[in-house]
Amino acid sequence: MADIEVEMKFSLSDVEAFRGVLLEHEAICAGPATTESDEYFAHPARDFATTGEALRVRSTALETILTYKGPRLDQLTKTRHEIEAPLVGPLAAGKSPLAICQILLALGFRSVRKVVKSRQFWTLPDEEYVLVCTIDHVPELGHFAELEIITEEHAWQPARDRLLEWAARLKLDQPENRSYLELLLDDEQRPS
């Protein structure tokens, strides 16, 4: 059975002020920001933009992860099934992303777009959940905060409620329900 990812994203106008809010709530920073490169793929027989699904290959300095995200289960948050297949080892961040992408292309998938971001991980002190907050920077879009809980299928609604509570505590409002890919594609389709 796949895990459920419960996620919310918010645009940040003042990153340093938000880091201060995280520290006030005793969040723990995992270290400096790292770079993630995500390549998204379109299915040969169905439209992921219509179904709300996503297939991506994420590469970092340490690993490559093939991820499938199912259709959204909730309108308030980005809640959906998530299946990840990490590749680790000496080649994981080297030839593996290219090899996985070549396999997907050979199977008829089409590359849609790459999304590159820097991401800093924080953990929030929650009694019940492992609650992760990331501060992301996508050069074409700006800074964002993402809150995320990974949970079991039967427990996603209480996890969503906890995420909404934390968003209010952290003074995050006006969630952005589009993915970075959707934001970039929307931006590219706007007349200049």
pLDDT at 191: 72
Confidence grade of residue 66 (pLDDT, cut at 50, 70, 90): very high
Confidence grade of residue 97 (pLDDT, cut at 50, 70, 90): confident
3-state secondary structure string across 22-34 = HHHCCCEECCCCE
How many percent of the chain have pLDDT more than 70?
94
pLDDT at 92: 53
Q: Is the pLDDT of residue 2 over 80?
A: no
pLDDT at 86: 87
How far is CA 91 from each of CA 41, 46, 102, rounded to the nearest angstrom?
A: 22, 32, 15
Confidence grade of residue 187 (pLDDT, cut at 50, 70, 90): confident
The residue ranges of DSSP E strands in the chain, in sequence order, are: 3-12, 28-29, 34-42, 54-59, 64-69, 78-87, 110-124, 131-138, 142-151
DSSP-derived secondary structure letter, 113: E
The predicted model gives 75-94 an average pLDDT of 79
Q: Is the pLDDT of residue 73 over 80?
A: yes
Residue 77 zone, left/alpha/beta (φ > 0; ψ -120 to 50; rest)? beta
pLDDT at 95: 59
Q: What is the pLDDT of residues 137-181, one digit of tens each?
A: 999 999 999 999 999 999 999 999 999 999 999 999 999 999 999
Q: Is the pLDDT of residue 44 over 70?
A: yes
